[in-house]
Structure 1
Amino acid sequence: MFRPNLMVPTIRVTQNTEIQLETAWPQSVLEYSVPSEFADRLSVTKSGLVQTKSIAGPAAIVVRRTDLPDNETSLVPVTISAVHSLDVLILTKLELSTSTPLMHLPVGIRIVLKLVFRDSKGRELSAPSNNKISYRPHRFDLTEIVASNANSTLTITLKSAGETVLKIWDSADPSLNVFIRLSAVEMLYQSTRKPTVSDIICFTSPLAGTSRWLSNGNHIEWLDVERGFARLTHPGTAHVTVKVAEQKLTTAR
């Protein structure tokens, strides 16, 4: 369900779907109705549940407050459109530590994607209840995906280095689909030289913000856990992690 408020100029919805109207007024004193000229396009219940029909085009809903003597009424414009395309918005904001743009995402990063529906003019539509959203990465070993809001919101953790392509589509209409390329690389140790025991290493985070570095085992002695300065004390492989900007980036060295 999508809950638009009455301040938006127009509510844009798809055909054959439902949305729940909500206002700042008490629900118990509201009366909803549809002008007769739009009755073939949508209907509304006493509780404000709007049901659109198969006919596209403009419509309107009348919202009247019944407890006031001045007959306070609002006309809510509605546009009913067919879904023309799917789009993906990245909700996660990333502040980089340098001015150089990232060509890949760092291993360990968590991003949130939101799927939106657009009409033929590219305008966003309220999430339709009649669409069945599916998703599938072509590799399952590189990511961890948690879906919510009927699969329209995906929280993705890039847990290993590599590249995968994520397909998102409408099972009710497979021609509505979008592909997202996800590429992750280890970024915490930038030197190409293989480190040796007793080396002093400066790990760096691609993300800006207060950092705290840690590692497993006894291979690394941290000289400064906030700036990423460390000395290698034992041979072997160490798993290094930095917590920064509500992210947990990782690498293996």
Structure 2
Amino acid sequence: MKRLRCASLFLGLTLALARAETTVQDGFNKESRNALDGAATETGESSWEATPNVRILKQDDGDGAVGVRDEQAFLLRLPVTAEAENVAIEARVHPDAKDPNRWIGVGMGAKGTLDAMNVNINWPLGVYLVLDGKGHYQCLYNPGREGVATTQQIQGGDATGFSPGGWNRLKVEYHRKNNTVSMWVNGEKVVSSANLEKKGFVSSIAVAGLSGYGMNPDQRNIDDVVLTTP
């Protein structure tokens, strides 16, 4: 009986660890798709939700990436479980427009509409990090709800090692219990455990992914997405 109890405890601990260390990855090395929405991720048994203008572009060598069909706002996201105490989202991005009002970002927040005319790309009740085509980044949080523009800046600056014609890596990690956020641009930690509790911020993290606005159509803008809930 004691041996069975030990075995049960070990199995329970193993399952708990498995739930606590979920990783979802996608390099988009699959067939080209006119719509990313509904596509399965390469690992992690998850599926994308996306605005209709987001698509998978694949080169002749098989290397895939995400692009958009127009210059309108876009969003692609993956579900995040309510049990996840920590959530991290990262990706390689190529913001090919030089207008500072046009950007790509990684973030997480409440689950809102994916309607192309009404999508909120500013991650309501969440946190996000954006990069524009000139290499300027902004670290942000959004205490407002769907359809309310109340974005607040934590920090901003010029990205170290910015590649205007290539890829740049963005990462956001949010700790629910401590209500803190850390952010990285090209491997440099630009925000370290910023305390959002002091700002009165209350999060509602149900999804994580990427969003943006004003990209040139049918260009490779997003690749190598990793979502972890450590």
TM-score, scaled relative to structure 2:
0.27
> Taking CA–CA contacts closer than 8 Å with sequence separation of 6 or more, which of the two structures ends up with the larger relative contact order?
2
Greater share of strand:
1
Larger Rg: 1
